[in-house]
Amino acid sequence: MLAAKPSDPLYYQARQHVLYSNDPGISHLQRRLRIGYQRAIALRDALAGDAVEYRSDTDSWQIHPQADRVTDFLIEDKLAHAAQLIYNAKALVIAAGAGIGIDSGLPDYRGDEGFWRAYPALGRSRLRFESIASPQAYQERPATAWGFYGHRLSLYRATTPHSGFDLLHAWGQRMQQGCFVFTSNVDGHFQKAGFPSARVYECHGSLHRLQCTANCQGSIWSTVDLYPQVNEAACEWLGELPTCPHCGALARPNIQMFDDWHWNEKRSAQQRMLLDMWLDSAQAPLVIEIGAGRALPTVRNFTRRMQQRGSRLIRINLHEANIHNPGDIELALGANEALEGIAAQLLQHG
Ligand SMILES: [Zn+2]
Protein backbone atom coordinates (compact mmCIF):
# COMPACT_ATOMS: atom_id res chain seq x y z
CA MET A 1 0.00 0.00 0.00
CA LEU A 2 0.95 3.57 -0.61
CA ALA A 3 2.08 5.72 2.24
CA ALA A 4 1.39 9.13 0.67
CA LYS A 5 -1.69 10.37 -1.09
CA PRO A 6 -1.21 9.93 -4.85
CA SER A 7 -0.56 13.17 -6.70
CA ASP A 8 -2.71 12.39 -9.75
CA PRO A 9 -6.44 12.56 -8.92
CA LEU A 10 -7.03 9.82 -11.50
CA TYR A 11 -4.78 7.43 -9.61
CA TYR A 12 -7.49 5.23 -8.10
CA GLN A 13 -9.56 5.18 -11.25
CA ALA A 14 -6.49 4.10 -13.19
CA ARG A 15 -5.81 1.47 -10.55
CA GLN A 16 -9.34 0.12 -10.87
CA HIS A 17 -9.27 -0.03 -14.67
CA VAL A 18 -5.94 -1.82 -14.70
CA LEU A 19 -6.97 -4.42 -12.13
CA TYR A 20 -10.48 -4.87 -13.51
CA SER A 21 -9.30 -5.55 -17.04
CA ASN A 22 -6.01 -7.22 -16.10
CA ASP A 23 -4.47 -4.89 -18.66
CA PRO A 24 -1.47 -2.78 -17.62
CA GLY A 25 -1.06 -1.38 -21.16
CA ILE A 26 -0.64 2.35 -21.74
CA SER A 27 -3.12 2.59 -24.61
CA HIS A 28 -5.76 0.97 -22.41
CA LEU A 29 -5.24 3.60 -19.72
CA GLN A 30 -5.35 6.39 -22.29
CA ARG A 31 -8.60 5.10 -23.72
CA ARG A 32 -10.40 4.43 -20.43
CA LEU A 33 -9.37 7.69 -18.79
CA ARG A 34 -9.26 9.81 -21.98
CA ILE A 35 -5.78 11.10 -21.17
CA GLY A 36 -2.57 11.68 -23.12
CA TYR A 37 0.39 9.35 -23.41
CA GLN A 38 2.66 11.20 -20.97
CA ARG A 39 0.07 11.23 -18.21
CA ALA A 40 -0.71 7.55 -18.73
CA ILE A 41 2.99 6.70 -18.44
CA ALA A 42 3.28 8.74 -15.25
CA LEU A 43 0.19 7.04 -13.80
CA ARG A 44 1.49 3.56 -14.52
CA ASP A 45 4.85 4.45 -12.98
CA ALA A 46 2.99 5.65 -9.89
CA LEU A 47 1.03 2.36 -9.76
CA ALA A 48 4.23 0.32 -9.62
CA GLY A 49 4.43 -1.74 -6.44
CA ASP A 50 0.68 -1.30 -5.84
CA ALA A 51 -1.32 -2.54 -8.83
CA VAL A 52 1.43 -3.26 -11.37
CA GLU A 53 5.07 -4.25 -11.46
CA TYR A 54 7.80 -4.07 -14.06
CA ARG A 55 9.41 -7.41 -14.86
CA SER A 56 12.92 -6.92 -16.15
CA ASP A 57 13.28 -10.59 -17.12
CA THR A 58 10.50 -10.26 -19.69
CA ASP A 59 10.87 -6.48 -20.11
CA SER A 60 7.14 -6.03 -19.55
CA TRP A 61 4.55 -4.64 -17.14
CA GLN A 62 2.40 -7.12 -15.23
CA ILE A 63 -0.41 -6.98 -12.73
CA HIS A 64 1.10 -7.07 -9.24
CA PRO A 65 0.42 -10.57 -7.89
CA GLN A 66 -0.28 -9.20 -4.38
CA ALA A 67 -2.44 -6.30 -5.51
CA ASP A 68 -5.23 -5.50 -3.05
CA ARG A 69 -8.45 -6.10 -4.97
CA VAL A 70 -10.70 -6.01 -1.93
CA THR A 71 -10.41 -2.45 -0.67
CA ASP A 72 -12.57 -0.02 -2.60
CA PHE A 73 -10.48 3.14 -2.85
CA LEU A 74 -13.16 4.87 -4.88
CA ILE A 75 -15.86 4.47 -2.23
CA GLU A 76 -16.17 8.21 -1.47
CA ASP A 77 -16.43 9.03 -5.19
CA LYS A 78 -19.08 6.36 -5.59
CA LEU A 79 -21.13 7.62 -2.65
CA ALA A 80 -21.03 11.09 -4.21
CA HIS A 81 -22.00 9.69 -7.60
CA ALA A 82 -24.86 7.73 -6.05
CA ALA A 83 -26.10 10.92 -4.36
CA GLN A 84 -25.96 12.68 -7.73
CA LEU A 85 -28.08 9.96 -9.37
CA ILE A 86 -30.65 10.10 -6.57
CA TYR A 87 -30.73 13.89 -6.71
CA ASN A 88 -31.45 13.84 -10.44
CA ALA A 89 -33.84 10.86 -10.56
CA LYS A 90 -37.56 11.33 -11.17
CA ALA A 91 -38.60 7.84 -10.08
CA LEU A 92 -37.08 5.25 -7.78
CA VAL A 93 -37.32 1.49 -7.42
CA ILE A 94 -35.99 -0.09 -4.25
CA ALA A 95 -35.15 -3.75 -4.77
CA ALA A 96 -34.46 -5.39 -1.43
CA GLY A 97 -33.31 -8.80 -0.22
CA ALA A 98 -32.53 -10.27 3.19
CA GLY A 99 -29.34 -8.21 3.63
CA ILE A 100 -31.29 -5.01 4.26
CA GLY A 101 -32.75 -6.41 7.50
CA ILE A 102 -29.50 -7.29 9.23
CA ASP A 103 -28.87 -3.71 10.38
CA SER A 104 -32.23 -3.74 12.18
CA GLY A 105 -30.86 -6.59 14.29
CA LEU A 106 -32.72 -9.36 12.47
CA PRO A 107 -30.90 -12.68 12.34
CA ASP A 108 -29.00 -13.75 9.26
CA TYR A 109 -29.60 -17.48 8.77
CA ARG A 110 -26.47 -18.29 6.85
CA GLY A 111 -25.99 -22.01 7.10
CA ASP A 112 -27.45 -24.48 9.55
CA GLU A 113 -25.20 -23.47 12.45
CA GLY A 114 -26.41 -19.87 12.55
CA PHE A 115 -29.99 -21.01 12.23
CA TRP A 116 -29.71 -23.58 15.00
CA ARG A 117 -28.05 -21.06 17.32
CA ALA A 118 -31.18 -18.93 16.95
CA TYR A 119 -33.51 -21.94 17.38
CA PRO A 120 -31.75 -24.50 19.63
CA ALA A 121 -34.83 -26.75 19.79
CA LEU A 122 -34.73 -27.14 16.01
CA GLY A 123 -30.99 -27.80 16.25
CA ARG A 124 -31.58 -30.68 18.66
CA SER A 125 -33.94 -32.26 16.11
CA ARG A 126 -31.53 -31.34 13.27
CA LEU A 127 -34.41 -29.54 11.55
CA ARG A 128 -33.07 -27.16 8.92
CA PHE A 129 -34.63 -23.84 7.94
CA GLU A 130 -35.76 -25.34 4.63
CA SER A 131 -37.51 -28.19 6.49
CA ILE A 132 -39.40 -26.16 9.09
CA ALA A 133 -40.41 -23.41 6.64
CA SER A 134 -42.22 -25.84 4.37
CA PRO A 135 -45.84 -26.96 3.83
CA GLN A 136 -44.76 -30.46 4.79
CA ALA A 137 -43.82 -29.27 8.29
CA TYR A 138 -47.33 -27.83 8.75
CA GLN A 139 -48.66 -31.29 7.91
CA GLU A 140 -46.26 -33.44 9.88
CA ARG A 141 -45.42 -31.31 12.95
CA PRO A 142 -47.89 -28.41 13.01
CA ALA A 143 -47.17 -27.30 16.61
CA THR A 144 -43.45 -26.94 15.84
CA ALA A 145 -44.04 -25.24 12.49
CA TRP A 146 -46.40 -22.81 14.19
CA GLY A 147 -43.96 -22.37 17.09
CA PHE A 148 -41.29 -21.31 14.63
CA TYR A 149 -43.65 -19.03 12.71
CA GLY A 150 -45.13 -17.53 15.91
CA HIS A 151 -41.67 -16.67 17.18
CA ARG A 152 -40.73 -15.01 13.90
CA LEU A 153 -43.95 -13.03 13.77
CA SER A 154 -43.36 -11.70 17.30
CA LEU A 155 -39.73 -10.92 16.48
CA TYR A 156 -40.56 -8.93 13.34
CA ARG A 157 -43.38 -7.10 15.10
CA ALA A 158 -41.01 -6.09 17.89
CA THR A 159 -38.23 -4.94 15.56
CA THR A 160 -38.00 -1.35 14.34
CA PRO A 161 -36.65 -0.93 10.80
CA HIS A 162 -33.27 0.87 10.85
CA SER A 163 -32.84 4.51 9.84
CA GLY A 164 -31.84 3.51 6.30
CA PHE A 165 -35.53 2.75 5.64
CA ASP A 166 -36.41 6.32 6.64
CA LEU A 167 -33.80 7.71 4.25
CA LEU A 168 -35.16 5.62 1.38
CA HIS A 169 -38.67 6.73 2.22
CA ALA A 170 -37.67 10.39 2.22
CA TRP A 171 -35.83 10.06 -1.12
CA GLY A 172 -38.80 8.31 -2.68
CA GLN A 173 -41.15 11.05 -1.54
CA ARG A 174 -39.01 13.71 -3.19
CA MET A 175 -39.20 11.97 -6.61
CA GLN A 176 -41.61 13.44 -9.12
CA GLN A 177 -43.03 10.03 -9.99
CA GLY A 178 -42.52 8.51 -6.58
CA CYS A 179 -41.11 5.19 -5.58
CA PHE A 180 -41.94 1.48 -5.64
CA VAL A 181 -40.52 -1.34 -3.54
CA PHE A 182 -39.74 -4.84 -4.85
CA THR A 183 -38.80 -7.08 -1.94
CA SER A 184 -38.31 -10.76 -1.28
CA ASN A 185 -38.55 -10.08 2.45
CA VAL A 186 -41.68 -11.17 4.25
CA ASP A 187 -41.20 -9.01 7.37
CA GLY A 188 -43.43 -6.06 6.33
CA HIS A 189 -40.73 -3.59 7.31
CA PHE A 190 -41.19 -1.25 4.36
CA GLN A 191 -44.82 -0.68 5.33
CA LYS A 192 -43.75 -0.29 8.95
CA ALA A 193 -41.29 2.42 7.83
CA GLY A 194 -44.12 4.36 6.18
CA PHE A 195 -44.15 3.09 2.59
CA PRO A 196 -47.76 2.88 1.36
CA SER A 197 -49.00 -0.70 0.88
CA ALA A 198 -50.00 0.10 -2.70
CA ARG A 199 -46.33 0.77 -3.51
CA VAL A 200 -44.82 -2.45 -2.14
CA TYR A 201 -44.54 -5.73 -4.01
CA GLU A 202 -43.72 -8.63 -1.69
CA CYS A 203 -42.75 -11.35 -4.16
CA HIS A 204 -42.63 -14.08 -1.49
CA GLY A 205 -45.71 -12.95 0.42
CA SER A 206 -46.00 -11.58 3.94
CA LEU A 207 -45.64 -12.97 7.46
CA HIS A 208 -48.50 -10.69 8.45
CA ARG A 209 -51.07 -12.61 6.40
CA LEU A 210 -52.47 -16.13 6.76
CA GLN A 211 -54.11 -18.56 4.37
CA CYS A 212 -55.85 -21.94 4.57
CA THR A 213 -53.64 -25.05 4.23
CA ALA A 214 -56.46 -26.59 2.16
CA ASN A 215 -56.77 -23.33 0.20
CA CYS A 216 -60.56 -23.87 0.30
CA GLN A 217 -61.81 -20.47 -0.86
CA GLY A 218 -58.56 -18.79 -1.71
CA SER A 219 -58.91 -16.22 1.04
CA ILE A 220 -56.05 -14.47 2.75
CA TRP A 221 -56.50 -12.77 6.12
CA SER A 222 -54.53 -10.55 8.45
CA THR A 223 -52.66 -11.65 11.58
CA VAL A 224 -53.71 -8.50 13.40
CA ASP A 225 -55.79 -10.50 15.93
CA LEU A 226 -53.16 -13.19 16.38
CA TYR A 227 -51.07 -13.09 19.58
CA PRO A 228 -48.57 -15.95 19.45
CA GLN A 229 -47.84 -17.84 22.67
CA VAL A 230 -44.77 -19.96 22.06
CA ASN A 231 -42.68 -22.21 24.26
CA GLU A 232 -39.37 -20.97 22.87
CA ALA A 233 -37.21 -23.62 24.51
CA ALA A 234 -39.20 -26.33 22.71
CA CYS A 235 -40.16 -24.20 19.68
CA GLU A 236 -43.80 -25.23 20.19
CA TRP A 237 -46.98 -23.23 19.70
CA LEU A 238 -49.03 -23.11 22.92
CA GLY A 239 -52.77 -23.52 22.79
CA GLU A 240 -55.01 -24.19 19.85
CA LEU A 241 -53.52 -23.90 16.41
CA PRO A 242 -55.07 -21.18 14.23
CA THR A 243 -57.54 -22.48 11.68
CA CYS A 244 -59.26 -21.34 8.51
CA PRO A 245 -62.44 -19.34 9.31
CA HIS A 246 -64.22 -20.95 6.34
CA CYS A 247 -63.49 -24.66 6.54
CA GLY A 248 -61.71 -25.17 9.86
CA ALA A 249 -58.56 -26.65 8.31
CA LEU A 250 -55.18 -25.61 9.72
CA ALA A 251 -54.07 -22.08 8.81
CA ARG A 252 -50.56 -21.23 7.62
CA PRO A 253 -48.57 -18.08 6.81
CA ASN A 254 -49.19 -16.62 3.38
CA ILE A 255 -45.55 -16.80 2.39
CA GLN A 256 -43.87 -18.81 -0.29
CA MET A 257 -42.04 -21.53 1.58
CA PHE A 258 -39.65 -24.20 0.36
CA ASP A 259 -41.16 -26.80 -2.01
CA ASP A 260 -44.42 -24.90 -1.75
CA TRP A 261 -47.12 -25.74 -4.30
CA HIS A 262 -49.94 -24.47 -2.10
CA TRP A 263 -48.92 -20.88 -1.63
CA ASN A 264 -51.87 -18.61 -2.38
CA GLU A 265 -50.18 -15.94 -4.48
CA LYS A 266 -53.28 -13.87 -5.16
CA ARG A 267 -52.28 -10.93 -2.96
CA SER A 268 -48.72 -10.95 -4.25
CA ALA A 269 -49.95 -11.07 -7.86
CA GLN A 270 -52.13 -8.01 -7.25
CA GLN A 271 -49.14 -6.14 -5.88
CA ARG A 272 -47.18 -7.21 -8.95
CA MET A 273 -49.88 -5.79 -11.20
CA LEU A 274 -49.64 -2.44 -9.43
CA LEU A 275 -45.87 -2.48 -9.88
CA ASP A 276 -46.16 -3.23 -13.61
CA MET A 277 -48.67 -0.40 -14.06
CA TRP A 278 -46.41 2.00 -12.22
CA LEU A 279 -43.39 0.88 -14.28
CA ASP A 280 -45.32 1.64 -17.47
CA SER A 281 -45.66 5.25 -16.38
CA ALA A 282 -42.21 5.73 -14.85
CA GLN A 283 -39.43 6.05 -17.40
CA ALA A 284 -36.32 4.06 -16.51
CA PRO A 285 -36.50 4.65 -12.77
CA LEU A 286 -33.30 4.61 -10.78
CA VAL A 287 -32.83 1.25 -9.03
CA ILE A 288 -31.30 0.96 -5.57
CA GLU A 289 -30.74 -2.74 -4.89
CA ILE A 290 -29.95 -3.62 -1.30
CA GLY A 291 -28.83 -6.87 0.30
CA ALA A 292 -29.94 -9.13 -2.56
CA GLY A 293 -27.66 -12.15 -2.76
CA ARG A 294 -26.93 -14.38 -5.72
CA ALA A 295 -28.13 -17.53 -3.93
CA LEU A 296 -31.84 -16.63 -4.19
CA PRO A 297 -31.74 -14.58 -7.38
CA THR A 298 -35.35 -13.30 -7.63
CA VAL A 299 -34.43 -9.73 -6.74
CA ARG A 300 -31.27 -9.70 -8.84
CA ASN A 301 -33.19 -11.00 -11.86
CA PHE A 302 -35.66 -8.14 -11.49
CA THR A 303 -32.79 -5.66 -11.25
CA ARG A 304 -31.26 -7.07 -14.43
CA ARG A 305 -34.52 -6.63 -16.32
CA MET A 306 -34.71 -3.04 -15.13
CA GLN A 307 -31.16 -2.43 -16.39
CA GLN A 308 -32.15 -3.88 -19.76
CA ARG A 309 -34.93 -1.30 -19.84
CA GLY A 310 -32.40 1.47 -19.33
CA SER A 311 -32.38 1.92 -15.55
CA ARG A 312 -29.23 2.94 -13.72
CA LEU A 313 -28.27 0.80 -10.74
CA ILE A 314 -26.89 1.49 -7.29
CA ARG A 315 -26.16 -1.88 -5.71
CA ILE A 316 -25.50 -2.11 -1.97
CA ASN A 317 -24.20 -5.50 -0.90
CA LEU A 318 -21.69 -6.13 1.85
CA HIS A 319 -20.59 -9.55 0.59
CA GLU A 320 -21.50 -9.77 -3.09
CA ALA A 321 -20.76 -6.47 -4.77
CA ASN A 322 -18.59 -6.17 -7.85
CA ILE A 323 -16.67 -3.10 -6.75
CA HIS A 324 -14.98 -2.77 -10.15
CA ASN A 325 -18.19 -2.49 -12.14
CA PRO A 326 -17.46 0.44 -14.46
CA GLY A 327 -21.06 0.75 -15.70
CA ASP A 328 -22.93 1.02 -12.42
CA ILE A 329 -22.28 1.83 -8.79
CA GLU A 330 -21.67 -1.10 -6.48
CA LEU A 331 -20.99 -0.46 -2.82
CA ALA A 332 -19.53 -3.25 -0.67
CA LEU A 333 -21.05 -1.83 2.52
CA GLY A 334 -23.82 -2.73 4.93
CA ALA A 335 -27.22 -1.23 4.10
CA ASN A 336 -27.26 1.39 6.81
CA GLU A 337 -23.66 2.49 6.34
CA ALA A 338 -24.12 2.90 2.59
CA LEU A 339 -27.41 4.77 2.88
CA GLU A 340 -26.07 7.09 5.60
CA GLY A 341 -22.98 7.68 3.45
CA ILE A 342 -25.10 8.66 0.46
CA ALA A 343 -27.29 10.86 2.68
CA ALA A 344 -24.22 12.75 3.88
CA GLN A 345 -23.26 13.43 0.26
CA LEU A 346 -26.83 14.47 -0.61
CA LEU A 347 -26.69 17.20 2.03
CA GLN A 348 -24.22 18.99 -0.20
CA HIS A 349 -26.88 19.25 -2.89
CA GLY A 350 -28.98 21.34 -0.50
ZN1 LIG B 1 -60.20 -23.29 4.44
Residue pLDDT, tens place only, 84-105: 999 999 999 999 999 998 888 8
User: Is 294 in contact with 224 (CB distance < 8 Å)?
Assistant: no
Please give the distance, rounded to the nearest whole angstrom, from the Cα atom of residue 2 to the centre of ligand 1.
67
Mean pLDDT calculated for residue range 5-14 = 87
Angle made by CA atoms 163, 168, 174, in degrees to the nearest 5: 130
Phi, psi dihedrals of residue 208, rounded to the nearest 5°: -95, 15
What band does 350 get if pLDDT is binned at 50, 70 and 90?
low
Tell me the CATH number for domain 76-349. Answer: 3.40.50.1220
User: Is 179 in contact with 167 (CB distance < 8 Å)?
Assistant: no
Tell me how far apart the alpha carbons of residues 135 and 228 are, in angstroms, rounded to a whole number: 19
Please give the distance, rounded to the nearest whole angstrom, from the Cα atom of residue 135 to the centre of ligand 1.
15
Please give the distance, rounded to the nearest whole angstrom, from the Cα atom of residue 251 to the centre of ligand 1.
8
Please give the distance, rounded to the nearest whole angstrom, from the Cα atom of residue 271 to the centre of ligand 1.
23
Q: What is the average pLDDT score of the chain?
A: 93
58: burial class by Cβ within 10 Å (0-12, 13-18, 19+)?
A: exposed
What band does 1 get if pLDDT is binned at 50, 70 and 90?
very low
Helix ranges (H only) for 233-331 are 266-281, 298-308
pLDDT at residue 30 tops 60: yes
The whole-number pLDDT of residue 118 equals 85
Sign of CA dihedral 118, 119, 124, 130: negative
Please give the distance, rounded to the nearest whole angstrom, from the Cα atom of residue 145 to the centre of ligand 1.
18
Please give the distance, rounded to the nearest whole angstrom, from the Cα atom of residue 127 to the centre of ligand 1.
27
Radius of gyration of the chain (CA): 25
Percent of the chain residues topping a pLDDT of 90: 81
In this prediction the pTM is 0.91
The string of pLDDT tens digits covering residues 267-307 is 999 999 999 999 999 989 999 999 999 988 999 999 999 99
Tell me how far apart the alpha carbons of residues 61 and 45 are, in angstroms, rounded to a whole number: 10
**Cβ-proximal residues to 72 (8 Å cutoff; 6+ apart), any chain:** 78, 323, 331, 332
Tell me the CATH number for domain 11-63. Answer: 1.10.10
pLDDT at residue 2 tops 70: no
Tell me how far apart the alpha carbons of residues 114 and 118 are, in angstroms, rounded to a whole number: 7
Domain coordinates in residue numbering, the chain: 11-63, 76-349
Tell me how far apart the alpha carbons of residues 95 and 166 are, in angstroms, rounded to a whole number: 15
Helix ranges (H only) for 48-159 are 75-88, 111-118, 120-124, 129-132, 135-140, 142-158
User: Is 39 in contact with 27 (CB distance < 8 Å)?
Assistant: no
Please give the distance, rounded to the nearest whole angstrom, from the Cα atom of residue 164 to the centre of ligand 1.
39
Phi, psi dihedrals of residue 211, rounded to the nearest 5°: -145, 170
Judged by average pLDDT, the poorest of 2-6, 47-51, 198-202, 344-348 is 2-6
Please give the distance, rounded to the nearest whole angstrom, from the Cα atom of residue 119 to the centre of ligand 1.
30
User: Is 338 in contact with 316 (CB distance < 8 Å)?
Assistant: yes
Please give the distance, rounded to the nearest whole angstrom, from the Cα atom of residue 239 to the centre of ligand 1.
20
Please give the distance, rounded to the nearest whole angstrom, from the Cα atom of residue 140 to the centre of ligand 1.
18
Q: CA distances (Å), 156 to each of 186, 190, 208, 326, 328, in order?
A: 9, 12, 9, 37, 33
Please give the distance, rounded to the nearest whole angstrom, from the Cα atom of residue 218 to the centre of ligand 1.
8
Percent of the chain residues topping a pLDDT of 70: 98
The whole-number pLDDT of residue 6 equals 80
The string of pLDDT tens digits covering residues 202-242 is 999 999 999 999 989 899 999 999 999 999 999 999 999 99
75-88 vs 335-346: helix axis angle to the nearest 10? 70
Please give the distance, rounded to the nearest whole angstrom, from the Cα atom of residue 211 to the centre of ligand 1.
8
pLDDT at residue 3 tops 60: no
Q: What protein residues have CB closer than 5 angstroms to ion ligand 1? A: 212, 214, 216, 244, 246-247, 249
Judged by average pLDDT, the poorest of 105-119, 142-156, 212-226 is 105-119
Please give the distance, rounded to the nearest whole angstrom, from the Cα atom of residue 243 to the centre of ligand 1.
8
The whole-number pLDDT of residue 4 equals 62
What band does 10 get if pLDDT is binned at 50, 70 and 90?
very high
